[in-house]
């Protein structure tokens, strides 16, 4: 019986990804924060109440963020006024971040989280990491890694309707530094 128990524990250990950190935030209120954008304006999440918000944590050194950038910008261009994309650059220099924004022609709002407070507030561990926030200010879905465009569209629609996803999504991502 002891051997069986050890084997079961061993099997369980192999099945789970030891680096994956499940988030307790999905379904709860999105932590409020204010951020200075690269254009010098201040954005506060609570001011965006009533709109569907996509928070995207990224860094210029993160390869999956580069792979995702064009898709994200294309998706942003298709959105109406009721949707806001907010890029949060972490663990990066301002110059590199601006170069990235310029390289991929990103037009949605982006700001920097210089001391990591917003990142920790959102339990960020692998980037890109996206949080979908409903118009009522609730996190409806979290995706670690690049969000495939069809999932992005579907989850934005769910967020718009304040429908919380049972599971978090996962794709190709890079650990933060």
- Per rule CB under 8 A, is residue 105 in the interface with another protein? yes
Shortest Cβ distance from residue 76 to another protein (Å)? 12
Least distance to another protein from the beta carbon of 115, Å? 6
What is the SS3 assignment for 120?
Answer: helix
- Tell me the three state secondary structure of residue 16: coil
| Residues 13-72 within binding reach of another protein (CB under 8 A) | 14-15, 17-25, 63, 66-67, 69
State the DSSP code for 138: B
**DSSP state string for 18-75:** TT----S-TTSBPPP-EEEBTTS-EEEGGGGTTSEEEEEEE-TT-HHHHHHHHHHHHH
Are residues 26 and 166 in contact, defined by beta-carbon separation less than 8 angstroms?
no
Contacting range for another protein; rule: CB under 8 A; set: 34-42, 128-136, 143-151, 160-168: 143-151
Helix (H) or strand (E) holding 13: helix 2-15
List the x/- string, 148-167, binding to another protein by CB under 8 A: xxx--x--------------
Q: Which residues bind another protein (CB under 8 A)?
A: 3-4, 7, 10-11, 14-15, 17-25, 63, 66-67, 69, 74-75, 78, 91, 103, 105, 115-117, 119-123, 125, 145, 148-150, 153, 170, 172-173, 175-177
């Amino acid at each position: 019986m002891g051997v069986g128990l050890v084997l079961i524990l061993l099997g369980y250990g192999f099945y789970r990804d030891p680096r994956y950190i499940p988030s307790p935030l999905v379904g709860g209120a999105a932590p409020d924060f204010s951020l200075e954008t690269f254009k010098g304006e201040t954005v506060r999440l609570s001011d965006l109440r009533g709109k569907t918000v996509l928070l995207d944590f990224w860094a210029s050194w993160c390869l999956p963020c580069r792979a995702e950038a064009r898709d994200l910008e294309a998706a942003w261009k298709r959105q109406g006024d009721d949707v806001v994309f907010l890029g949060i650059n972490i663990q990066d220099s301002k110059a590199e971040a601006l170069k990235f924004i310029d390289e991929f022609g990103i037009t949605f709002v982006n700001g920097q989280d210089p001391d990591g407070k917003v990142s920790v507030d959102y339990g960020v561990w692998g980037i890109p990491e996206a949080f979908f926030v409903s118009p009522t200010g609730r996190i409806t879905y979290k995706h670690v890694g690049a969000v495939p465009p069809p999932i992005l569209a579907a989850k934005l629609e769910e967020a718009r309707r304040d429908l919380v996803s049972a599971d978090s999504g996962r794709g190709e991502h890079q650990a933060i530094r």
